[in-house]
Amino acid sequence: MSLRAEGHAATSTLKKLAADMSNIIESLDTRELHVEGEEVDSEVLTDPKGTVCIPFSAIYHTHGFKEPGTQTYLSGCPVRVRVLEVERFTSTKKVPSPNVYTIELTHGEFVWHVKRKFKHFQEFHRELLRYKAFVRIPIPTRSHTVRRQSIKRGEPRQMPSLPHTAESTVREEHFSSRRKQLEDYLTNILKMPMYRNYHGTMEFVGVSQLSFIHDLGPKGIEGFIMKRSGGHRIPGLNCCGQGRMCYRWSKRWLVVKDSFLMYMKPDSGAISFVLLVDKEFNIKIGQKETETKYGLQIDNLSRSLILKCNSYRHAQWWRQGIDEFIRKHGKDFLTEHRFGSYAAVQENTLAKWYVNAKWYFEDVANAMEAAKEEIFITDWWLSPEIFMKRPVVEGNRWRLDCILKRKAQQGVRIFVMLYKEVELALGINSEYSKRTLMHLHPNIKVMRHPDHVSSSVYLWAHHEKLVIVDQSVAFVGGIDLAYGRWDDDEHRLTDVGSVKRASTAATKSLSTANLAAAAESTERVPLQPQGLAPESHLFERNADDGPDTSKMKGIGKPRKFSRFSIYKHLHKHGMHHSDSVSSIDSESNKGSIRSLKTGVGELLGETRFWHGKDYCNFVFKDWVQLDKPFADFIDRYTTPRMPWHDISSVVHGRAARDVARHFIQRWNFTKIMKPKYRSLSYPFLLPKSQQTAHELKYQVPEAVPATVQVIRSAADWSAGIKYHEESIHKAYISVIENSKHYIYIENQFFISCADDKVVWNKIGDAIAQRILKAHRENRRFRVYVVIPLLPGFEGDISTGGGNALQAIMHFNYRTMCRGENSILGQLKAEVGDKWINYISFCGLRTYAELEGKLVTELIYVHSKLLIADDNTVIIGSANINDRSMLGKRDSEMAVIVQDSDTVPSLMDGQEFRAGRFAQSLRLRCFRVVLGGSDLNPEHQDPVCDKFFKEVWIATAARNATIFDKVFRCLPSDQVNNLAQLREFISKPKLATDDPVKAAEELKKIRGFLVQFPFRFLEEEYLLPSVGTKESMVPMEVWT
């Protein structure tokens, strides 16, 4: 016989012996098993002040229920027992245990109740006696040896005695003594570690590894149940047949918490499903309702879960226990809230806004660095190699992938959800992002969704941009952690790497006050040939996050940090010490030197803000070769970058918990949906309790208190919910309708004005009606709209732009000014030309000096912002179009912030209490687009004629006129058709004919604001013509 066969035989013999011994113990008369021993447990008699809490991270390290050594209880903290009441049940049958005891247990901050009959105590007692005898027998198996070794020598083993009197003979007047006997019995059992840690004891008192985790909130009812498979709301997740034969019943440990239920597998301890409490949460019992004898049905928006109990009364206990607990601790989740949102209005919430990504990225990086347990990230596009702090003065320390790897190594769990693009339509390469992040560390888990074929979702995108740290700090807004997004208030056009002033007379004459490029140089650093593959342009390459098309193309892709130093070896895997610290230019000591204004003091010499792919101009050329992050793909010496203007926010506490809940809902849904994520390596996520939300371990500096509500666009395909949610759309409409003085909007798109055929969202109509109401009441009311001068799609506007670009232009113009459904169409019908007193449409543009030439470029407005009356703000990821607003299409997330702190101000010439959050954000936006300072007194009153006409409209008109004169910019009101376009671009520009005079003209520019050209290509049909690939796409893609 071979050694292997011998070993196998020996093992099977041991297993048989162990099984025989177990059977002998089961059949022993337990009265013979009493063993003498002392009765003291020093560990739990004392109640020291320093009770050790179980960390929240324990949810990722659960063990099988019978495994020895698992921490369930708080160390150094006793379990206190009280038998509260006795219920006596009458029955037609003779019942040996008619009394039900309600037992209250207290352990640290946790209090919970269990109901047990005397027969349950008897069964429990017999099981403990068998266990005690079993432990004394040295069965030669590994698990048994470990169990024996876990019991300390000399540990008390004397079983407390259970009353012997039969239950049926106990009279009512003796109930109090019976209660005291049972109290003492259970108290003594729970003092002894050997019995307290036995899985049978934990089942009897209803506790598990997840019972006493502080951040999971109060402890609810727990216990074993049988659960039926299926019941998911989403097609494809359930069994194909309808008959009973298709269902599987499995034994699970059910845990009830204040805002969710979950069940665990007893053998492994793995969390195998999480059911969130929501407005549809409901519990039914009975065979008629559940098609199951002693059944219990629990419904929410995502699933109808069927459980089986062992008696009708048992099912009633479960229903009552769950219902009472949820209504007491989780009532906020049971109702629909304002605007139809899943999230309640949270008062006294710390919030902060961000204008442009420089400060946003820094705060996100600092918050990640402070993470202790979890980081959640979801983006439309994520570029792992972006630098979060610039200029780069600490090597790769603040590169996104380096931060995440560092935190993962410290034990922080990192969960990332990426939009899985239609690869033929979009070049954001989420597969590369996923692969790069997953290779960093096992603690980083990345999911992509949707699977277009299996889910039949081809047109819609996940568009949220969220970063959530420890479920306590949540960043919500329009800024992806991606290429092209980083920018500051200067919106530089150039970044060639030298801070040295140009020395030739020609370039000196061009250095006007506003040429604030990060670095211009007459010395060209030779570019290494890149060998970029030509790009095949497919229709759906669209605006970045968002446009309908945008989501399919790369239009507004997140700008990523590009190479900061001139060093050539910033490799994508240079995670160790590949240094990107700016070098000192050896030539920079000659001649006059300009220092660079940065947040880290003055830097001289070669420095870059945008490295490699981060230096981009996506209308000129879409991203390519994203797997080579530090290789330039456009020539930064001839092509200016396209600046990126964006808005974001951060919220804390209860509102951050609400944002995290949305992420958790999406993560858990995706885990169930996609078979590849069903493994244990992708865990279910659990929401932290709102009861601990005020315990902020980290706080973003300069946040102010306000009233915050989280709002979203979500549906069955995106979040697995039965009814779609469009609370962002409803919030926009409500804020516009109820505004009293002004509305300020910045948005990447402006597609609205419903015709109930092609366009359905009513934001444009609400704006028009609000203006007409002001006109009828003879009151001042202003609407400011700032959008990109061109949609963010690749295309040469000098030839009319691509089909995608023109399609978005069509719908933007249809909303603003073309046709009777447009805002101006609705206004002119009633007020004629007086509309100009109420509403202004603008874009942003800037200029710079590049290699001795004057250049200009539009500033891409990617914001999704609404401010009303200096007291209400909506910031999020949702564009003003049907894709973002209708709920059934793209998934979106936003916050509505209403001020509670006010400051003295002016509104329409009258004294006014302005909200601190809203007013400071408006003033910063005005300062950026108009120039000047945050404290500019001209900007204080946004409604008065002096500001609206003499500052806002006058600045926009003057700037637009100068840009037209110097650069002959497109889009332009002088170009109404393609024939005029060809003629327009053939004429000479002042910038090339007389650069000195052009520079003098440009000195008159203030800020970036320019009037939006209403008449550009107004004589052309801009929708895709028949036969083009864009014309084959459903119209909803563009709207």
Cβ–Cβ under 8 Å, residues 446 and 406: no
Dihedral sign computed on CA atoms, order 680, 685, 688, 690: negative
Residue 640 carries which side chain, given as an amino acid letter?
Answer: P
**pLDDT for 949 beyond 90:** yes
Active site residue 495: no
Does residue 137 or residue 835 have the better pLDDT?
835
- Note the pLDDT tens digit of each residue in 605-662: 446 899 888 898 877 777 777 778 788 888 889 999 999 999 999 999 999 999 999 9
Q: Which residue has the tokens 């979890």?
A: 374
The CA-to-CA distance between both ends of the chain, in Å, stands at 76
Average pLDDT for the chain: 81
| pLDDT band at residue 671 using 50, 70 and 90 as cut-offs | very high
Residue 86: what pLDDT? 79
Residue 1020: what pLDDT? 85
**pLDDT for 543 beyond 50:** no
Does residue 871 or residue 497 have the better pLDDT?
871
Residue 590: what pLDDT? 31
Q: Which of 355, 1038, 405 is nearest to 751 (CA)?
A: 1038
**Coil, helix or strand for 347?**
strand
Q: E strands of 221-336, at which residues?
A: 222-228, 249-256, 260-264, 271-276, 282-285, 295-299, 304-308
- Note the pLDDT tens digit of each residue in 687-740: 999 999 999 999 999 999 999 999 999 999 999 999 999 999 999 999 999 999
Cβ–Cβ under 8 Å, residues 544 and 645: no
CA distance 413 to 407: 8
CA distance 753 to 847: 34
Active site residue 288: no
Residue 977 in tokens: 């058709």
CA distance 975 to 1016: 5
Q: Which of 1014, 1004, 1015 is nearest to 961 (CA)?
A: 1004
Listed in sequence order, the DSSP H helices in 905-977 are 916-930, 945, 954-967
Identified catalytic residue from 470, 480, 495, 632 = 470
Residue 599: what pLDDT? 45
| pLDDT band at residue 5 using 50, 70 and 90 as cut-offs | low
Cβ–Cβ under 8 Å, residues 1010 and 960: yes
Identified catalytic residue from 265, 864, 939, 989 = 864
C-alpha dist (Å) from residue 937 to 76, 859, 908, 909, 941: 62, 26, 14, 12, 8
Neighbours of 651 (CB within 10 A): 29
Mean pLDDT over residues 441-447, rounded? Answer: 96
User: How much is the CA Rg of the chain, to the nearest whole Å?
Assistant: 34
| pLDDT band at residue 31 using 50, 70 and 90 as cut-offs | very low
CA distance 515 to 999: 10
Neighbours of 569 (CB within 10 A): 10
CA distance 597 to 601: 7
CA distance 74 to 52: 6
Burial class (CB in 10 A: 0-12, 13-18, 19+), 97: middle
Active site residue 470: yes
Dihedral sign computed on CA atoms, order 563, 568, 569, 571: positive
- Note the pLDDT tens digit of each residue in 125-184: 999 888 888 777 766 665 656 555 555 555 555 677 777 666 555 566 666 788 888 889
Neighbours of 69 (CB within 10 A): 10
Cβ–Cβ under 8 Å, residues 783 and 869: no
**pLDDT for 541 beyond 70:** no
Residue 235: what pLDDT? 56
Residue 144: what pLDDT? 57
Identified catalytic residue from 144, 862, 939, 989 = 862
C-alpha dist (Å) from residue 508 to 496, 515, 520, 981, 1004: 17, 11, 11, 33, 18
Active site residue 465: yes
CA distance 919 to 422: 41
Burial class (CB in 10 A: 0-12, 13-18, 19+), 340: middle
Q: Residues 5, 8, 11, CA angle at the centre, nearest 5°?
A: 150
Q: Which of 759, 754, 762 is nearest to 737 (CA)?
A: 762
Residue 617: what pLDDT? 87
Q: Which of 934, 870, 859 is nearest to 902 (CA)?
A: 870
Q: Which residue has the tokens 């079993």?
A: 134
Cβ–Cβ under 8 Å, residues 400 and 384: yes
In this structure, of 67-81, 430-444, 956-970, the range with the lowest mean pLDDT score is 67-81
Mean pLDDT over residues 1029-1037, rounded? Answer: 79
| pLDDT band at residue 266 using 50, 70 and 90 as cut-offs | very high
CA distance 810 to 492: 29
In this structure, of 130-139, 293-302, 472-481, 632-641, the range with the lowest mean pLDDT score is 130-139
DSSP secondary structure code for residue 1022 in this structure:
-
Q: Which residue has the tokens 């060639």?
A: 496
Residue 775 in tokens: 């006109």
Active site residue 463: yes
Q: Which of 748, 789, 550 is nearest to 647 (CA)?
A: 748
- Note the pLDDT tens digit of each residue in 351-402: 999 999 999 999 999 999 999 999 999 999 999 999 999 988 888 999 999 9
- Note the pLDDT tens digit of each residue in 615-627: 988 777 777 777 7
In this structure, of 199-213, 241-255, 783-797, the range with the lowest mean pLDDT score is 241-255
| pLDDT band at residue 829 using 50, 70 and 90 as cut-offs | very high
Q: Residues 60, 62, 68, CA angle at the centre, nearest 5°?
A: 150
**pLDDT for 531 beyond 80:** no
813 Cβ contact partners less than 8 Å away, ≥ 6 residues apart: 822, 1014, 1018, 1022
Identified catalytic residue from 219, 449, 465, 688 = 465
Q: Which of 188, 169, 141 is nearest to 40 (CA)?
A: 188
C-alpha dist (Å) from residue 650 to 3, 214, 479, 870: 65, 24, 12, 19
- Note the pLDDT tens digit of each residue in 553-574: 333 333 333 333 333 333 334 4
The arrangement of strands across the sheet holding 222-228 comes to 271-276, 260-264, 249-256, 222-228, 304-308, 295-299, 282-285
**Coil, helix or strand for 400?**
helix
CA distance 606 to 351: 37
CA distance 788 to 550: 13
Residue 867 in tokens: 């401010």
| pLDDT band at residue 427 using 50, 70 and 90 as cut-offs | confident
Identified catalytic residue from 869, 870, 899, 941 = 869
Q: Annotate 727-793 with DSSP letters as a single string.
A: HHHHHHHHHHHH-SSEEEEEES-B-----SSS----HHHHHHHHHHHHHHTT---EEEEE--SS-SS
941: Cα separation from own chain's centroid = 35
Q: Which residue has the tokens 């039914």?
A: 284
- Note the pLDDT tens digit of each residue in 585-607: 333 333 333 334 444 444 444 46
Q: E strands of 373-431, at which residues?
A: 374-379, 413-419
Identified catalytic residue from 115, 144, 449, 463 = 463
| pLDDT band at residue 288 using 50, 70 and 90 as cut-offs | confident
Burial class (CB in 10 A: 0-12, 13-18, 19+), 243: exposed
Neighbours of 224 (CB within 10 A): 15
- Note the pLDDT tens digit of each residue in 507-523: 333 433 333 333 333 23
Mean pLDDT over residues 467-489, rounded? Answer: 96
> Which H or E run contains 432?
helix 430-438
Q: Which of 453, 876, 451 is nearest to 669 (CA)?
A: 451
pTM attached to this predicted model: 0.85
Residue 43: what pLDDT? 44
